[in-house]
């Protein structure tokens, strides 16, 4: 088979008319020609760090959507489902991904559980990591979120890192705001990437220590505008990623849009393609073709090198996208899950007014980091209640793995004037989380999620909306367009209730992520992410 067009040779930093000879799924020869059609043949895009589960789609359903944007592969940390179901969840992701031609390269998740400060569904210890590293379908150690464990010489943490390095596999990092001597010790442990940089000074400090920076633009955390200049200043040390990409956004864009934005900002085309297609393959030693003779015939054909409008995609010489759609479809999936929580009563989430002031989580739009403030409580019948006029709303986290009493806190930033939102997506243990104005509706919306053993829900008066997520309470086995439409309807519901957040469910999910400062809420209580310890809700 011969494919003709303008060959984009990223390594030689040149584009020329030519043709590609494909034999037995590999590129046998690339020939220059005097002329060729005005379409561009280039390496496919790679998401260098993504949790597939956050798309609310199985890997196969994710592939159906992502391939439309020129994505040929992802570097995927199955951290979410592994925290719910352990190695069983990891194996589900790998086996499901094999049913489609797009490539998924999975890690052994390093932090299951993410911390000892919340109830989790599983534990993957260093001995299990060492066994996983022997597998050919495990490509790296997933993001080491327990950076205090690295810095303060936790033996279990270091054993996991050493197991990966001994197997010749990279170790992904996760170190928000870490600088100075602590950062040096973190990097010296063998950690080679970080996707948590929020400013360019932090990113450059990490690059100086040999850490590759993954520029993230996801559904909740958006760091591209702050970090894109690194694409030209450090083209070999950066990659592009989404980290968490919800289905409505995946329907519209993926890494292709980040590449387009970089070009619009003035970045060099070959540097952009290094970050978006080449560097992930080289860093993680992935068997994905990069448009060289002898490579697997994995590439895309686009109309131009500005918007990257996709014409065709090829994987191992087979066409997997053409005529505006994928040439494959996802089949029926298994529905593994772990969900033991029973019904929540209103009395479970009532809170007696012990003191007159409380600590409040302050959430920002598009920011995983939170702030902390102190406010006077609003009391009714001796109970602390939400105060929507001041945007102080009750937030509840309840374990999905047992029936212990829920943890209760308060949060600013959602601006709900009525109703309640709930989800079984709550990073990283994926317990139940809800934010709302009224205790009765908070209990009701939580029970909607409990009844379906996972999902997203919203309630306001007689109006209710629900998106079941039957795979681990995290993903759905349905076409991405259907899930995107349901998710969009939930966000619109939240907006009608007063929320101005772009992605309220994504923001809510990260309010339980204890490893990112400053103040978060887990199922065991309010947590100070700066001191890495529990803290009291009430204050003198």
Q: What are phi and psi of 320, to 5 degrees?
A: -110, -5
3-state secondary structure 205-232: HHHHCCCEEEEEECCCCECHHHHCCHHH
CB 530 within 8 A of CB 147: no
What are the DSSP calls for 454-517, one per residue? Answer: SEEEEEETTEEEEEE-TBTTTBBSS-HHHHHHHHHHHHHHHHHTT---SSHHHHHHGGG-TTSS
Q: How many CA atoms lie within 13 A of 221 on its CB side?
A: 25
60: helix, strand or coil: helix
Instruction: Tell me the helices (H) and strands (E) count for the chain, helix number first.
Output: 17, 30
Q: What are phi and psi of 476, to 5 degrees?
A: -120, 150
Place of tokens 């994928």: 326
CATH superfamily of 44-287: Metal-dependent hydrolases (3.20.20.140)
Could you tell me the CA-to-CA distances from 49 to 223, 324, 518 in Å, in that order?
14, 26, 24
- Domain boundaries in the chain? 44-287, 346-539
Q: Which secondary structure element, helix H or strand E, spans residue 396, and what is its range?
A: strand 393-398
pLDDT in tens, 398-442: 999 999 999 999 999 999 999 999 999 999 899 999 999 999 999
Could you tell me the CA-to-CA distances from 466 to 299, 458, 497, 508, 537 in Å, in that order?
39, 7, 15, 16, 31
C-alpha span between 401 and 120 (Å, rounded): 7
**DSSP annotation of 303:** S
Q: Please, which residues have CB within 8 angstroms of residue 7's CB and are 6 or more apart in sequence?
A: 15, 16, 17, 18, 20, 30, 32, 36, 41, 291
- pLDDT (0 to 100) of residue 220: 67
- pLDDT (0 to 100) of residue 367: 77
pTM: 0.92
C-alpha span between 332 and 532 (Å, rounded): 42
CB 52 within 8 A of CB 94: no
Could you tell me the CA-to-CA distances from 321 to 66, 67, 425 in Å, in that order?
11, 7, 31
Could you tell me the CA-to-CA distances from 203 to 217, 309, 354, 500 in Å, in that order?
15, 31, 44, 30
**294: burial class by Cβ within 10 Å (0-12, 13-18, 19+)?**
exposed
CB 540 within 8 A of CB 357: yes
Mean pLDDT by 10 residues, the chain (540 residues): 97 98 98 97 98 96 97 97 97 96 98 90 97 98 92 96 98 94 97 95 97 90 93 98 93 97 98 98 98 98 97 98 94 88 97 94 86 95 96 98 97 98 95 97 98 97 97 95 96 97 91 91 96 92
User: Rounded to 10 degrees, what is the CA torsion of 198, 202, 203, 208?
Assistant: -170
**DSSP annotation of 371:** E
């Amino acid at each position: 088979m011969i494919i003709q067009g303008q060959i984009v040779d990223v390594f030689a930093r040149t584009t020329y008319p030519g043709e590609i000879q494909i034999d037995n799924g590999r590129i046998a020869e690339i020939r220059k020609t005097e002329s060729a059609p005005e379409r561009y043949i280039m390496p496919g895009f790679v998401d260098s760090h993504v949790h597939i589960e956050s798309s609310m789609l199985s890997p196969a359903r994710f592939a159906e959507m992502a391939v439309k944007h020129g994505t040929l592969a992802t570097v995927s940390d199955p951290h979410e489902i592994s925290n719910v179901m352990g190695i069983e969840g990891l194996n589900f992701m790998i086996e499901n991904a094999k049913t489609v031609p797009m490539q998924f390269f999975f890690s052994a998740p390093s932090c299951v559980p993410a911390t000892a400060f919340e109830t989790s569904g599983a534990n993957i210890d260093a001995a299990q990591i060492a066994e996983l590293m022997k597998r050919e379908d495990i490509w790296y150690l997933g993001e080491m979120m327990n950076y205090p464990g690295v810095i303060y010489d936790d033996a279990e943490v270091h054993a996991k890192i050493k197991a990966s390095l001994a197997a010749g596999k990279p170790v992904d990092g996760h170190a928000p705001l870490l600088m100075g001597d602590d950062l040096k010790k973190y990097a010296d442990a063998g950690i080679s990437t970080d996707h948590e940089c929020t400013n360019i000074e932090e990113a450059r400090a990490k690059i100086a220590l040999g850490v590759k920076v993954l520029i993230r633009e996801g559904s909740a955390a958006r760091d591209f505008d702050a970090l894109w200049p690194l694409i030209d200043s450090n083209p070999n040390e950066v990659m592009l990623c989404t980290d968490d990409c919800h289905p409505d956004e995946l329907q519209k864009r993926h890494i292709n849009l980040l590449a387009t934005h970089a070009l619009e900002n003035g970045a060099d085309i070959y540097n952009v393609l290094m970050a978006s297609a080449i560097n992930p393959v080289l860093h993680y030693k992935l068997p994905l073709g990069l448009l060289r003779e002898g490579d697997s015939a994995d590439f895309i054909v686009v109309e131009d090198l500005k918007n990257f409008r996709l014409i065709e995609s090829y994987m191992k010489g087979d066409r997997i996208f053409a005529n505006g759609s994928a040439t494959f479809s996802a089949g029926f999936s298994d529905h593994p899950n772990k969900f033991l929580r029973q019904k929540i009563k209103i009395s479970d989430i009532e809170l007696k007014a012990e003191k007159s002031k409380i600590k409040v989580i302050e959430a920002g739009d598009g920011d995983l980091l939170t702030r902390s403030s102190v406010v006077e409580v609003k009391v009714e019948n001796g109970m602390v209640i939400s105060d929507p006029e001041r945007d102080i709303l009750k937030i509840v986290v309840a374990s999905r793995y047992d029936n212990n009493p829920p943890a209760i806190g308060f949060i600013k930033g959602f601006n709900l004037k009525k109703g309640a939102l709930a989800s079984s997506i709550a990073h990283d243990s994926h317990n139940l989380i809800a934010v709302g104005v009224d205790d009765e509706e908070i209990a009701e919306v939580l029970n909607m999620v409990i009844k379906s053993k996972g999902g997203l829900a919203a309630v306001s008066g007689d109006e209710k909306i629900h998106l079941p997520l039957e795979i681990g309470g995290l993903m759905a086995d349905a076409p991405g367009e259907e899930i995107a439409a349901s998710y969009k309807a939930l966000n619109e519901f939240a907006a009608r209730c007063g929320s101005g957040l772009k992605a309220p469910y994504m923001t809510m999910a990260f309010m339980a992520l204890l490893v990112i400062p400053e103040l978060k809420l887990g199922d065991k209580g309010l947590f100070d992410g700066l001191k890495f310890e529990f803290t009291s809700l009430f204050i003198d």
